Structure 1
Amino acid sequence: MSEREVRIGLLGCGTVGRGVVELVARNADAIAARTGLRPRIEKILVRNRSQPRDVDPALLTDRPGDVVRNGVDVVVEALGGDEPACSLLTEALERGKPVVTANKLVLASHHDRLLTLADRRRRAFGYEACVCAGVPVVRSLRHALAADRLMSFEGVLNGTTNFILCRMEEGDSYAEALIEARRRGFAESDPTNDVEGVDTALKTAILCGTAFGATIPPDRIPRKGVTKVTTADLAAVRRWGYAIRLIARAELDDSGDIRASVGPELIPLGAPAARVRDEENVLIVHGQSSGDLIFQGRGAGGGPTASALLSDVLDAAARPDAPAPRWRTANPAPAGPAARYLRITCAAPRAQPRRWLEELTGMGVDVRRIEVVRCPQNGRQRTVRLLTEPCADEIVDRITALGVADDSLIALRVQNPVRKS
């Protein structure tokens, strides 16, 4: 098989950028034998050329123009953050370069600008690495399922929080699990975007555009993080047949609006999302014709992300004028009723099961299960745990109105998906 060289301009040489460099060095021969395309790193943009790196210094530059010049076939963005990543992607497209990115924030926030430009310039725009790292979700939704009408999706999209929750299931505290996640390279020094669901909301917005051809701004997706979940919660719900996972879900309704959310949910132990372990991701997609399809694999780390980026590079090199997707902006639809797990901490006299059953029944909420346990930190307080039948989100406000402090209450959805055909 004859082969053609693919010259890569790499923006950034952090964890993901180094992963791309290492993957090219390790697998270039195998890739060329398999595809007829031989990737080669042409230039790498870095902030400080003098910083020690295990990279050929001749490849390094601190001038962005060196990376997007005519001697480069595909530009790979691995900088992260909003700027200068967005401006450099824009410049590369204006110069007629196919681009590939792992930047969730830029794509979710500036998709209209970037995808419109890619379409106008007839340049490929690859973003497989933005969601689920090495799991080929985007390619499957855009191509393998292009003939189907995709109705909804749900899944675990953040490897960091899943690792933390799995460690807590084994008895670690939240703080201990976070330390271990950092030690293994899954968590940043500031884990806020992961543990508060920001990262998952960005991925949800991107998946909406990919699956539905329509998306909503990430800041309009209702989200909750996992920082209020305790090891006691995880142990209690496991006795009841559930695990807790940070779940992204979205559904396209008949009017074209999107009902989406991100937050910890109770998942039946036999469900795919409950079985996924540590840094793995899982996505369940429901198609009108294809039914439920499950994608699962490693969703965190430089290796899987670099693999997805390089895969997009090869696609872009083979079809540099491949049409870019176009996403319309949809309205967010209100959340529907759902069964809830409620955990309420209150003084012992208020913790009588009959009292809470009466309170919730008076709000029109049926209770399936209730338990009351003594708080180990404070013997004068009790923890009330309840599972309810489907009810509206307003239940949280109504319980708070009874004098329960916000930090003494957690309300999680219990998975009970309603499927449309």
Structure 2
Amino acid sequence: MDEVKLSLFGFGNVGRAVARVLLEKEKLFRERYGVGFKVVSIADTSGTVWLPEGIDLREALLVKETFGKLSSWTNDYEVYSFTPEEAVREIDADIVIDVTNDRNAHEWHLAALREGKAVVTSNKPPLASHYAELTEEAKRREIPYLFEATVMAGTPVIGLLRENLLGDTVERIEAVLNATTTFILSRMEMGLDFEEALRQAQRLGIAERDPSGDVLGIDAGYKATILHCVAFGPVTFDDARVKGIAEVTAGEVRRARAKGKTLRLVATVEKGRVAVEPKELPLESPLAVSNNENVAVIWTDLLGELVIKGAGAGLKETASGVVSDIVRASLRKA
């Protein structure tokens, strides 16, 4: 049986969700894939815990959830003050996992690839700005660089485009890719104004304390850019035309409903074009999703219209995408 060494960067909500899946499904991975995982390092903003023999994930989760930071872990473990790039060079690992929000992570993703380490990430900005450089480096070295969880969490739209539609020519993609804006617009349809709907989303943990990435369309723009890169070829986020929902009024929502339509933040992706903007949709449209659902409608020359819909947010859902990529990278490196 192969033993695969993992180096985990980010131990917030998503990082801990990934750790729980690795714990809970350890037996399944061994029996189904013949792979055992050993987490040799975990990094949060307070430092990096590194143990070549493997870290006790249960204890790591307990320390983080009790004290809020890994640097509080003093028994049996030394906490290092590595930069991410130092860590990927110093720590012996097979797969580097990035579930951080580090906008400059492309630098240490490249360092990991050059060290012969596979990379699995849910971090969107590096791909939205440096897709060509990252994927070309991975291809040159024949090393997995996987990023399913960057778009639609665990709903496998990236895998569909990269691995399944190999005989099809993708003509266009339309998608709703941000669950926070869908929640806000849904609540506005129930009579709340934008600010009230946003506050409710923040109370429920659906919107961040700083919601600008969602309501200004930046998050959806990153995801739409990545879809273009996979389906049509490299562009960057700077090439995208993005308008969010911050200026949508209660009156606009009411008028759409009066016409039997709904407003959603829609990404349109065509060769050479990425656009994100609020659009009126018929209620029967596959894009008229609710709650935390994401959806992509993909048109190809052979299949015609293909709809893929599922959870686009949530800890378990994002962990699903990350862990699937970890398994996939492990099997490719075996």
Q: Report matched runs for 1:334-349 at 5 Å.
A: none
The residue number in structure 1 matching 2:328 is: 315
- Aligned equivalent of 1:148, options 160, 168, 172: 168
**TM-superposed deviation, 1:86:** 2.0
Change (3 A) 1:33 1:263: same
Question: What code does the residue aligned with 2:241 have?
Answer: P
Between the two proteins, the alignment pairs up a number of residues equal to 311
Q: 2: distance between equivalents of 1:182 and 1:158? A: 15
The residue number in structure 2 matching 1:54 is: 65
Write 1 or 2 for the structure with the bigger share of helix: 2
**TM-superposed deviation, 1:294:** 0.8
Please report the TM-score for the alignment, with normalisation by the length of structure 2: 0.87
The residue number in structure 2 matching 1:345 is: none
Q: Give the number of the structure whose alpha-carbon radius of gyration is greater.
A: 1
Change (3 A) 1:278 1:93: same
Question: What code does the residue aligned with 1:32 have?
Answer: R
**TM-superposed deviation, 1:31:** 2.7
Q: 2: distance between equivalents of 1:145 and 1:61? A: 44
The residue number in structure 1 matching 2:138 is: 118
Which runs of 5 or more structure 2 residues have no equivalent in the other structure? 49-59
Question: What code does the residue aligned with 2:278 have?
Answer: P
Which runs of 5 or more structure 1 residues have no equivalent in the other structure? 253-257, 322-421
Where 1:216 maps in the other structure, the secondary structure is coil
Q: Does residue 101 of structure 2 align to residue 80 of structure 1?
A: yes
Q: Deviations over 1:334-355 (max 9, x none)?
A: xxxxxxxxxxxxxxxxxxxxxx
Where 2:247 maps in the other structure, the secondary structure is coil
**TM-superposed deviation, 1:173:** 2.1
Q: Does residue 276 of structure 2 align to residue 262 of structure 1?
A: yes
**TM-superposed deviation, 1:142:** 0.8
Change (3 A) 1:184 1:33: farther
Please report the TM-score for the alignment, with normalisation by the length of structure 1: 0.70
Q: 2: distance between equivalents of 1:100 and 1:60? A: 23
**TM-superposed deviation, 1:245:** 0.2
CA RMSD of aligned residues (A): 2.1
Q: Report matched runs for 1:7-406 at 5 Å.
A: 7-49=5-47, 53-54=64-65, 57=73, 58=77, 61-63=80-82, 64=84, 65-67=86-88, 69=90, 71-83=92-104, 85-212=105-232, 214-252=233-271, 258-274=272-288, 276-320=289-333
Question: What code does the residue aligned with 1:146 have?
Answer: L
Where 2:333 maps in the other structure, the secondary structure is coil
**TM-superposed deviation, 1:177:** 1.7
**Stretch deviating more after TM superposition (288-297 or 57-66):** 57-66
Q: 2: distance between equivalents of 1:170 and 1:146? A: 43
**Stretch deviating more after TM superposition (60-69 or 16-25):** 60-69
Change (3 A) 1:244 1:44: same
Question: What code does the residue aligned with 2:222 have?
Answer: L
Contact residue 88 and residue 111 of structure 2 kept, 8 A: no
Where 1:96 maps in the other structure, the secondary structure is coil
Question: What code does the residue aligned with 1:76 have?
Answer: I
Where 2:8 maps in the other structure, the secondary structure is strand
Q: 1: distance between equivalents of 2:293 and 2:204? A: 14
Contact residue 10 and residue 67 of structure 1 kept, 8 A: no
Q: 2: distance between equivalents of 1:12 and 1:129? A: 14
Q: 2: distance between equivalents of 1:60 and 1:235? A: 55
Q: 2: distance between equivalents of 1:228 and 1:95? A: 46
Q: Deviations over 1:146-205 (max 9, x none)?
A: 111111000101111111111211222212221222233222211111111111111111
Where 1:319 maps in the other structure, the secondary structure is helix
Question: What code does the residue aligned with 1:261 have?
Answer: A
Question: What code does the residue aligned with 1:163 have?
Answer: F
Question: What code does the residue aligned with 1:273 have?
Answer: L
